[in-house]
Structure 1
Amino acid sequence: MLKDDVPEKTAEFLSEFYKNQLSMAASEGAKSINVDFALLDQFDVQLADRLLDSPDETIPLMEEAVKQLDVGPIDPKLRLRFFNLPESKNIRIRNLRAEHIGKLIVIDGIIKRATDIRPEVSEAVFKCMECGNEIPVAQSEKTITMPAKCDCGNRKDFKLSGQKLHDTRWVFIEETFEITSGERPSDLMVYLKEDLTTPKMQNKTDPGNNIKIVGVLKEMPKAAKGTSRSRQLDIYLDVNHVESIEVEWEELEITPDIEQQILELAHSPDIYGKFIRSIAPAIYGNDEIKESIMMQLFGGEEHIQKDKSKVRGDIHILLVGDPSTSKSAMMKVASMLIPRGRYVSGKGVSQAGLTASVIKEEEFLGGWVLEAGAMVLSNRSMISIDEFEKIDKSDIVALHEAMEMQTISIAKANIVATLPAHTAVLAGGNPKLGRFDPYVPIKEQIDIPDTILTRFDLKFALRDIPNAERDEMIAEHILQARHFEEVDIKPEIDTGFLRKYVAYARKTCHPKLSREAGNEIKKFYLELRAVSGEDSAISITPRQYEALIRMSEASAKVQLRNEVSKEDALRAINIMKTSLRQFGFDPETGKIDIDRAEGAKATAAQRSKIRIIEDIISELILTYGKEIPTEELIRHAKEQGVERPEEIVSKMQSEGVIFSPSAGKISKV
């Protein structure tokens, strides 16, 4: 198709398919309209092909055609934004080559970092100082381009007399997790301008969003020493159209037929069992953990107090397991059950990778930019963090705010921001000695700060205990899942339908705690608190009380109910009991001690022994002076019934209560 034919053909196309949209754009003062490329291709194949092959020349000609139409006082700079390009034009970032430069293509990806919106000179007007003539010059380079010469022959003496500005934004887009499994994701610079920088579009292009962009791939010279131009080029995408492709909970398409199926399933008498059997069905057993993950998918309700403080609704779960207990596999599957779910390994993650960071990007973005981490990318979803204990201690502190307040605050360089992190955490860790020991407090088994441990609503131990009957069932289950083709182990609820069910529940159900359910939770809480005393173990704290409410609300959502029933409360209580028994049971006292599960520096039994030893030290000081023989201290402690006093003395030394001034001697600090 000839260049001169483009405006005429475009005018015909717009008159036939987009006259109403153009009239509406004129009345509303819109800056652009979206054009379906498939319609253009049906109307005129040659025009469509020309658009794909020579977009920089064709798009301005097509936009010029808008002025020929009688649709009212339309913006003379109205932009045509093209979408729905052929699948063949959807190119992976890692597959971009020189042949794609100058072509209209489609890129999918996640926005990793972005600049603020900044004005840019689109056209500069220069005044010739010899004849007074004004010369407009379109600007496309990093620095202002001067006129080559004036009609009067002047080539040097020009003064800037005016300029036209438009808003711009640079972002880095990275290939999505789904297509880069096992690969290092490639990234690409993206250039947004004009109406692609409005507040609404800014939200779409902030770090963490998953988008599909249509644009023209262009080259940019790499920086070289001096004034010489580098032979190597960088590439960027000059964007024409942006659409969000992140499937949010609320955006999953739920037709009337699917809604009817959801309502029917909600009334199934075995609805909870069906969900449990649909979570990692290839993994045998662990039903209580799968039930907890089910509740994590649905989540509780976020509560905003009168003082504007918030109580989170997301449920955090920690799994501590022996080797070969399918902990990692279960976490991986769980992260795939919901949109925006992420799976990361603690061994290769940093604070910036988990939360967010501010980095300096002078060459392209021109200054400090905000980069989203995995917690932000998983906002309103969940993240599975395997090998949690291997995260560096200086990095793991970044999770304090993210797990409880569900925000990530950044105040670095010239950027002050608070990013949303409404993210449920499913973490997995390995005991220091390889196997979980129920007789040892969790603090001594897994290297996680106690301030982080307390933020987990539930903690479970996955133990590999030899049991002939269970071992045979696991072996048979593995055979059926992997080797017998006639047996198809698949989820009872299809994964796609499960997502839609959870999305529907999250959108339509906001359960309130009934008086009956509240009384049941209160009764359980007070009964456990009643056995606690000043000197005895504390069995439960308000943190677990809040967790019980969250789980009860999630249980109600499974049946699409807007009221939490007594049965929901009992279901949450049973799961909490399992968690407390596994991590909080003190074999010395036979009671639940929450300090064993929460990683406190000393359990109730240890604190009692510490007080006895402190009294013994005070008595022995009267006899021996400040330096007490360690042997005498141990002997007196055993006489008073303290078991394993050496361990308690060692713990007191590590906590700085006592110290050893010389070999075989103990002194108070």
Structure 2
Amino acid sequence: MEAEQRRLVEAKLRRRDREEARRDGRLPAAYMDDEDDELDGPMPTRRRRKPQDSDVDFEDEEPEIPAGIQDVRGPLNEWVTLEGPRQSIKREFHHFLTSFVDDNGESVYGERIKTMCEANGESLEVSYLHLYNTKADLAFYVVECPGEVLKIFDVVALEVVLSGFEEYDKIKSEIHVRITDLPMVEALRDMRQANLNKLVRVSGVVTRRTGVFPQLKYVKYDCVKCGDIVGPFYQDPHQEIRIGNCPNCQSKGPFNVNSEQTIYRNYQRMTLQETPGSVPAGRLPRHKEVICLWDLVDYARPGEEIEVTGTYRNNLDVTLNIRNGFPVFATVIEANHISKKEDMFASFRLTEEDHRQIRALAKDERILQRIIKSIAPSIYGHEDIKTALALAMFGGVFKNPQNKHRLRGDINVLLLGDPGTAKSQFLKYVEKTAHRAVYTTGQGASAVGLTASVHKDAVTKEWTLEGGALVMADRGVCMIDEFDKMNDQDRTSIHEAMEQQSISISKAGIITTLQARCAVIAAANPIRGKYNPQIPFSQNVELTEPILSRFDVLCVVKDTADPVIDELLATFVVNSHIRSHPNFQGDRGIAPAVDSDIIPQDLLRKYIMFARDRVYPKLNDVDHEKIEKLYADLRRESMIGGSIPITVRYLESIIRMSEAFARMHLRDSVRQDDVDRAISVTVKSFISSQKLSVKKQLEKSFEKYMTRDLDNFELLNHVLSELVREHIRFNFYRRDAMPESVDIDAEELELRARELNIHNLQPFYQSGLFRSLYSLRGGKIHKKL
């Protein structure tokens, strides 16, 4: 064979090998066009022919191996590497991507590929549930052998993308299939050897994150002696590639990495720790290292709660071997898909049905009363605390005028009072309801545990930041129980976080600022265990004025003995225990039904998320003179009574609470009644902190600021039930028999209501609470017994 002819044949053979390597996923498309351009046309693909009688030699033919689960022979991870199963998996997944349609008959993944390409992305999300319902075998393979099967999926996804966007490989050399909606969620502390090399889904909080490093994927080497380029070689992330000799000069090196033609990928490690609320009592939280590659780097920041779907792998750790003896392996999770917890409940993830329910709920005239009543419905009374918690969860609007001065929008609340008034239960309720919440106690929290700490990374030997509770609660709520048990030094460390909503760090050469945009809800007990109303507020607590001025609302809870209220409380607790029994069948004869005004907790959570994400009310026409007069009066009285200090921060608090009240109604502007409610909350907070001798006088002085926009339905229902009880007792004594029904004149109820300064009873007659128990007929209130 002549030299020119031999060169063409060798070029064709090299091109054939490269084509097969690219199809099998061993080489990227970037290595296809570096040489052999003189060969025209693509390489012909071999087609299998049906055997004919005239065929004699079948040495080149490979039998088709089916890819069903029942046909697996030997270990599954070895079986999927065979050529027959690989081709079957490719064919099935290609058919899945191109043929899967939704209920309307539209292609699901065709639209996703179009959206991905418009954004120049490289990640294609594939739902595991879609795969399971249509291609159950592929769903089984991807969970049991994710390492090999996901490589096949990536190759097929690139082929499908290139069929619609022919030049897309010039933008992104690879497409990565991300598996979502894996049904089984594993706990970090439950990961065992049975999960090794399997696809798992775990959740936790990111506590630490390294920088982004380049990692070798396809490497080429330069032979120092002859200058020939050797490679490319696929670099296994768990084992270093070593070359024996140069194929050109047969020398054994040395070899240098060719940095120009070597292909790298982004690499980052982050630490995933168990969610604080999911750690069993008395246990340390477990953590795992998560490896992020390609476009997953820098997706999650420290403090964010995420769910990771990835491959659970093991690698050799020298330090573990020295400590525990060989062979002990460390385990890591190689991330395939990451989703943030806050994105799962964000408003853009809500369905059309959720949007319709939220809009319909906002049109209710009594939506404010219903929201306050739905906060911790298992706790009786405490309307002021429930109002404060609702304000904290909805929050105001964050402002940053000219990007120079930040004005926080979160509302801080302090619950101070006697033991047994359900302060900790309120905090636990907010932890379960708020979209992002961190719960901690003052006794077990330190300054760095609340703010941030600096650690030296064990691998890179670099100093890294680890966020504390306030950083983890960014854009959420941080609850601090036993606030009075904290040391003064630890309490001082959160001054900046509560007002500027940032944490400044200057340690180990690291000078930076972390975000802590969260509302703080704290619960504390008085000095002597029980609040003494005879002495000023400042003598009841050991909190300094700087920390008190940072709380927008102060709720002083006193456990007073009142026979009527105590009877209602006991009845409420007993009925709540009866309804909470697992065998309770809803018999209203045993316990009354739950109030129909209470919003279901799932809907309330979606309502709060929708309001925080979509509604940003503006201040328009408000009475400025009323706010100015109130501020002057509060300043004057605070200097005399020795109560909480009134600073200019309380003016901003009134604005924040006005915006929160407007958010509860899903309004785009703040009305005067919202400002009046905010002023009422501020005045009540100020008056409740006064000692008893001046409290009555202040209530008369500030009566014009305290709005009567209260939910009087419960009070009217109590008055009406007392009237029913009197009529039953009267009829029983007169007839010596229990009547079947009771009729009461509406004028009699209106007379009792006027004594309580309630003059309009029409809203009560139209409420669901009245209609569920009574009926109004010709001026008579009818009650069937």
Q: Which residue of 1 aligns with 2:122?
A: 31
Matched length: 585
Please tell me whether the aligned partners of residues 453 and 467 of structure 2 are also in contact (alpha carbons under 8 angstroms): yes
- Whether 1:174 and 2:273 are equivalent positions in the alignment is yes
Please tell me whether the aligned partners of residues 585 and 591 of structure 1 are also in contact (alpha carbons under 8 angstroms): no
Q: Which residue of 2 aligns with 1:596?
A: none
Residue-by-residue CA offset, 1:225-278 (whole Å, 9 max, x unaligned): 789984111100111222223247643644454444434433434333222221
2:689 counterpart SS class:
helix
Alignment of 1:238-637 (within 5 A): 238-247=334-343, 250-251=346-347, 253-306=349-402, 308-363=404-459, 366-413=461-508, 415-483=510-578, 485=584, 486-487=590-591, 488-489=593-594, 492-529=598-635, 540-585=646-691, 587=693
Residue-by-residue CA offset, 1:629-658 (whole Å, 9 max, x unaligned): xxxxxxxxxxxxxxxxxxxxxxxxxxxxxx
1:277 counterpart SS class:
helix
What is the Cα deviation at residue 590 of structure 1?
8.9
Identify which range, 434-443 or 529-538, moves more after superposition.
Answer: 529-538
CA distance in 2 between partners of 1:472 and 1:22 (Å): 64
CA distance in 1 between partners of 2:228 and 2:626 (Å): 85
Could you say which structure has the greater relative contact order, defined with CA pairs below 8 angstroms and 6 or more residues apart?
A: 1
Q: Provide TM-score, normalisation by structure 1.
A: 0.78
Q: Which residue of 1 aligns with 2:38?
A: none
Q: Provide TM-score, normalisation by structure 2.
A: 0.68
- Whether 1:51 and 2:148 are equivalent positions in the alignment is no
CA distance in 2 between partners of 1:318 and 1:473 (Å): 26
CA distance in 2 between partners of 1:529 and 1:101 (Å): 65
CA distance in 2 between partners of 1:350 and 1:195 (Å): 36
Amino acid at match of 2:295: D
Please tell me whether the aligned partners of residues 415 and 554 of structure 2 are also in contact (alpha carbons under 8 angstroms): yes
Cα 1:36/1:572, change in 2 over 3 Å: closer
Residue-by-residue CA offset, 1:326-356 (whole Å, 9 max, x unaligned): 1111121123222112322112122233222
Between the aligned residues of both structures, percent identity stands at: 28
Residue-by-residue CA offset, 1:296-321 (whole Å, 9 max, x unaligned): 22222223335731221211111112
Cα 1:196/1:375, change in 2 over 3 Å: same
Q: Which residue of 2 aligns with 1:597?
A: none
What is the Cα deviation at residue 87 of structure 1?
1.7
What are structure 2's unaligned runs of at least 5 residues? 1-66, 68-79, 101-108, 585-589, 699-785
2:342 counterpart SS class:
coil
Please tell me whether the aligned partners of residues 505 and 560 of structure 1 are also in contact (alpha carbons under 8 angstroms): yes
What is the Cα deviation at residue 421 of structure 1?
1.9
Partner residue of 2:197 out of 102, 111, 114: 102
Amino acid at match of 2:140: D
Identify which range, 339-348 or 2-11, moves more after superposition.
Answer: 2-11
Cα 1:189/1:512, change in 2 over 3 Å: same
CA distance in 2 between partners of 1:253 and 1:12 (Å): 28
- Whether 1:157 and 2:251 are equivalent positions in the alignment is no
CA distance in 2 between partners of 1:209 and 1:258 (Å): 25
Please tell me whether the aligned partners of residues 221 and 230 of structure 1 are also in contact (alpha carbons under 8 angstroms): no
Q: Which residue of 2 aligns with 1:192?
A: 292
Cα 1:571/1:324, change in 2 over 3 Å: same
Please tell me whether the aligned partners of residues 40 and 48 of structure 1 are also in contact (alpha carbons under 8 angstroms): yes
Larger gyration radius, structure 1 or structure 2: 2
CA distance in 2 between partners of 1:539 and 1:19 (Å): 62
Cα 1:495/1:229, change in 2 over 3 Å: same
Residue-by-residue CA offset, 1:198-229 (whole Å, 9 max, x unaligned): xxxx2x31112222222111112222378998
Please tell me whether the aligned partners of residues 517 and 564 of structure 1 are also in contact (alpha carbons under 8 angstroms): no
Amino acid at match of 2:456: K
Identify which range, 324-333 or 371-380, moves more after superposition.
Answer: 371-380
CA distance in 2 between partners of 1:85 and 1:533 (Å): 60
More strand by share: 1
What is the Cα deviation at residue 493 of structure 1?
1.0
Cα 1:299/1:425, change in 2 over 3 Å: same
What is the Cα deviation at residue 50 of structure 1?
2.6
What is the Cα deviation at residue 416 of structure 1?
4.3
Residue-by-residue CA offset, 1:507-538 (whole Å, 9 max, x unaligned): 44333334444332222223334567899999
Amino acid at match of 1:73: E
RMSD: 3.4
Cα 1:476/1:370, change in 2 over 3 Å: same
CA distance in 2 between partners of 1:311 and 1:57 (Å): 52
Identify which range, 157-166 or 309-318, moves more after superposition.
Answer: 157-166
Partner residue of 1:231 out of 310, 323, 327: 327
Cα 1:55/1:229, change in 2 over 3 Å: farther
CA distance in 2 between partners of 1:122 and 1:160 (Å): 12
CA distance in 2 between partners of 1:520 and 1:209 (Å): 42
CA distance in 1 between partners of 2:489 and 2:194 (Å): 46
Cα 1:454/1:228, change in 2 over 3 Å: closer
Amino acid at match of 1:285: G
What are structure 1's unaligned runs of at least 5 residues? 593-669
Q: Which residue of 2 aligns with 1:649?
A: none
Please tell me whether the aligned partners of residues 30 and 78 of structure 1 are also in contact (alpha carbons under 8 angstroms): no
Cα 1:149/1:219, change in 2 over 3 Å: farther
Q: Which residue of 2 aligns with 1:648?
A: none
What is the Cα deviation at residue 435 of structure 1?
0.9
CA distance in 2 between partners of 1:354 and 1:392 (Å): 12
Q: Which residue of 2 aligns with 1:628?
A: none
